[in-house]
Amino acid sequence: MIQLSILKITEYGPWTLTLGSDREHELQMLQASLYKQVQKLFSEKNCLVFLNRSDEFFVVSNGLTLDDHIEIQKTLEELFEVHLTISIGFGESPFEANLKAYDGRKNNIILNKEHNIFGFIDDKSELNVSIMHLDVDDLKSKRKDTSPYEISAIIFDLYSKIVKYFIQKNSLTFFMGGDNYMVVASSEAKNSVQNFIDMIKNNDDISLNCGIGNAQTSRDAVKLATKSLDTIRDIRDSGKPKPDVYEL
Ligand X SMILES: Nc1nc2c(ncn2[C@@H]2O[C@H](COP(=O)(O)OP(=O)(O)OP(=O)(O)O)[C@@H](O)[C@H]2O)c(=O)[nH]1
Q: Does 124 bind ligand X (CB under 6 A)?
A: no
Q: Does 178 bind ligand X (CB under 6 A)?
A: yes
Q: How many residues bind ligand X (CB under 6 A)?
A: 13
Site residues for Mg ion, 161-190, by CB under 5 A, read 179
Closest by alpha carbon to 90, among 82, 81, 99? 99
Query: Residues 134-153: x/- map of binding to Mg ion (CB under 5 A)?
Result: -xx--x--------------
Given candidates 27, 70, 109, 139, which one binds ligand X under the rule CB under 6 A? 139
Given candidates 4, 72, 135, 228, which one binds ligand X under the rule CB under 6 A? 135
How many angstroms from the chain centroid is the CA of residue 59?
A: 7
Shorter beta-carbon distance to ligand X: residue 55 or 135 = 135
Q: Does 148 bind ligand X (CB under 6 A)?
A: no
Given candidates 167, 176, 235, 248, which one binds ligand X under the rule CB under 6 A? 176
Q: How many alpha carbons fall within 13 Å on the CB side of residue 118? A: 21
Given candidates 13, 14, 177, 239, which one binds ligand X under the rule CB under 6 A? 177
Residue 109, contacted partner among ligand X, Mg ion, none, CB below 5-8 A by kind = none
Instruction: Say which amino acid occupies 55.
Output: D
For 49, phi then psi, to 5°, come to -100, 135
Q: CB 209 → Mg ion: shortest distance, Å?
A: 7
- Tell me the residue ranges of DSSP E strands in 53-169: 56-60, 84-91, 110-112, 117-119, 129-136
Q: Does 155 bind Mg ion (CB under 5 A)?
A: no
Given candidates 38, 137, 171, 228, which one binds ligand X under the rule CB under 6 A? 137
Q: How many residues bind Mg ion (CB under 5 A)?
A: 4
Q: Does 136 bind ligand X (CB under 6 A)?
A: yes
Shorter beta-carbon distance to ligand X: residue 137 or 220 = 137
Looking at 20-120, list the stretches that DSSP marks H as alpha helix, in order from N- to C-terminal side: 24-43, 66-79, 94-106
Shorter beta-carbon distance to Mg ion: residue 84 or 134 = 134
The rounded distance, in Å, linking the Cα atoms of 2 and 112 is: 21
Number of H helices, E strands in the chain: 8, 11
Query: 81 exposed, middle or buried (CB, 10 Å; 0-12, 13-18, 19+)?
Result: exposed
Q: CB 135 → Mg ion: shortest distance, Å?
A: 4
Asked whether the CA dihedral 59, 4, 100, 182 is positive or negative, the reply is positive
Closest by alpha carbon to 104, among 216, 219, 3? 3
Shorter beta-carbon distance to Mg ion: residue 88 or 131 = 131
What is the binding site for ligand X (CB under 6 A)? 135-140, 176-180, 226, 233
